[in-house]
Chains A and B, each alone.
Chain A
Amino acid sequence: MVSLRALAVLALAAGLAAPAGAEPPKRVVSMNLCTDQLAMALAAPGQLVSVSYLALDPRSSAMVEEAMAYPTNRGRAEEIYLLKPDLVLAGSFGGPAVAMLHRLGVPVVEVAPPTSLAEARDAIAQVGAALGRSETAEAMIADFDREVARLARPAGPDAPTAATWGANGYSIAGDTLAGDILRRAGFALVTDRLGMETSGYVPLEVLVMAQPDLIVTGSPYPGASRAEEVLDHPALERLEGHVLRVPDALWTCALPRSLEALAMLSAEAEALR
């Protein structure tokens, strides 16, 4: 009896440690917007049983149509446990719900949100391995690399400058996915020029003085806010650089579709040369 139980424990431990080597999971639940979209793109038919409710929000999700086919969850430990998953995909900020799932013995794979196109490849590989779909993931990564190589342009010292411009003047820095995509498209970041290592608020006056060649804004929210009024300030129209809207959903998560943002910006950089 004792040895049998030990054997079972061993088998369980082996299963947890190396899910890729074992049987692929059959009931996968994703509770994070970014893993939702990678799982939808990579999973075998029927393998994925639920995605987070955010996957249906067109403001942040680039795969709303695909997500309509799945029941959604709100990332609560209880509802996820009741779905009887044999694998849960979560982001790295799952919080108490993920801790609870760990305690309940549900296998959870935590995927850190990629902050660059290079890390996006790792996330695709990680989700692919967790789903037992490494081949699909490798094909996706190969496509991804090809597209990046085709669209990327070198950002020399005379590179055009770009700044993202959001509510209250929030502008992203080079340590984010959007910042990396802007750089790969051949832009120098205004936040870099200002010596900002992380994203933050840039006063309107400072943005105007920096005279960016391109100002990138996102999707406005419904309803009004004073915080977003600064996006329509007449001073921006007086600048020579123009304003481009890139839908937020394209680079909220690192996805194959993020390369659409790279393509838009790459074309802008080409036109500015």
Chain B
Amino acid sequence: MRRDARLLGSLAALVAALALASLLTGPADAGLRAGIEALWTGEGPLGIVLREIRAPRTVLAIMVGASLGLSGAALQGYLRNPLAEPGLIGISASAALGAVVAIQAGVSALALGVPFAALGGALGGVALILGLAGRRAGGLGLILGGIAVSALAGALTALVLNLSPNPFAAYDIMFWTMGSLADRSWGHVLTAAPLMLAGWVALARAGRDLDALSLGEEAAASMGVNLARLRLLVVLGAAAAVGAATAVAGAIGFVGLVVPHLLRGAVGAMPSRLLPAAALGGAALVLAADVAVRLILPERDLKLGVMMALVGAPVFLHLIWRTQAGR
């Protein structure tokens, strides 16, 4: 337990350091002191930049990262499969489809209807995955189902955006499939927060039952775990957290895959201990990626998905290789 506290403490410190870096990174160059002063006083154009542009971006990076890390860890615990990740199994893509349909149907991008539509899309994605691959599916079935759902949702998203009367909507395909936190505002933070919080609460409450489930279904049932309730908590929680994150930041892949993978060694196999660490780790990873995209191309909106795939794809390949070797 003390080891856990130390790990969580250092992860929190990492998140804080990266948050500071995120606040101080951007095309409007300002020194460390000027930046912190402007953030404190809110005065002048730099004050506006820090308070209205960079602060919401940083907060959103933490929230989105925590949602994705947490959902990845919970889904992996529930499906007992290290490859279960919201991006890979198509939840993010179907959430993006839900959000896009709502926005094109006339819901304001800052209305609560968009995260709820994304939740609806995400639930559709989960239902398809569980229907296609089933709970006891091996890694291959899950990934194949994920490919199908992702492809379908991605194609429908592109179709809806191409049918929009707005010529710029088609340019948004990149945003919805790769994710970005550029030019977000406090409005987006407030839009995503309620549903995201609900998702976090649901996933946090699933922790103990997931521990029991790691011993096998029968064992868990004999320990008094209500498997139907657990499924509801994990599926709804992950769909809510990922849906809300996707509604404001687009589909960001690999976070839920990389973070639990990196942290599992430190916390052992217990899902309840992995969950908080994965939330903090996800926040740190998305913050780092969001700082990196601004360092690489400060003037342009390089998508987060690019950075995440650069980190995530090798991890993913390694996991597949290990799964195959283990068989």
Contacts and interface: CB of A to CB of B under 8 A. Distances in A.
Interface string B95-106: 000000001101
Interface stretch (A101-109, A140-148, A171-179, A223-231): A223-231
B104 A229 contact: no
B53 A235 contact: yes
Nearest to A202: B299
Chain A contact residues: helix, strand, loop or mixed: helix
Contacts of A273: none
Interface residues of B, number: 32
B45 A203 contact: no
A227 B45 contact: no
Given A205-B53, A235-B48, A167 B28 contact: no
Interface string A215-243: 00000011111111110011100110000
B28 A221 contact: no
A81 interface: no
A222 B54 CA distance: 29
A228 B108 CA distance: 12
Contact of B299 (A203, A221, A239): A203
Contacts of A167: 168, 171
A201 interface: yes
Given A209-B28, A229-B109, A230-B183, A223 B165 contact: yes
Contacts of A229: 109, 183
B49 A205 contact: yes
Contacts of A230: 183
Interface string B271-311: 00000000000000000000000000011110000000000
A67 B46 CA distance: 48
A239 B164 contact: no
Given A222-B165, A226-B172, A227-B172, A235 B186 contact: no
Given A208-B45, A223-B104, A235-B49, A228 B168 contact: yes
B164 A203 contact: no
B187 A234 contact: yes
B171 A208 contact: no
B131 interface: no
Nearest to B169: A225
Given A203-B28, A238-B48, 5 more contacts: A205-B27, A225-B169, A228-B166, A228-B168, A234-B185
Interface of A: 167-169, 201, 203-206, 208-211, 221-230, 233-235, 238-239
6 contacts: A167-B171, A203-B27, A205-B54, A224-B103, A227-B172, A228-B166
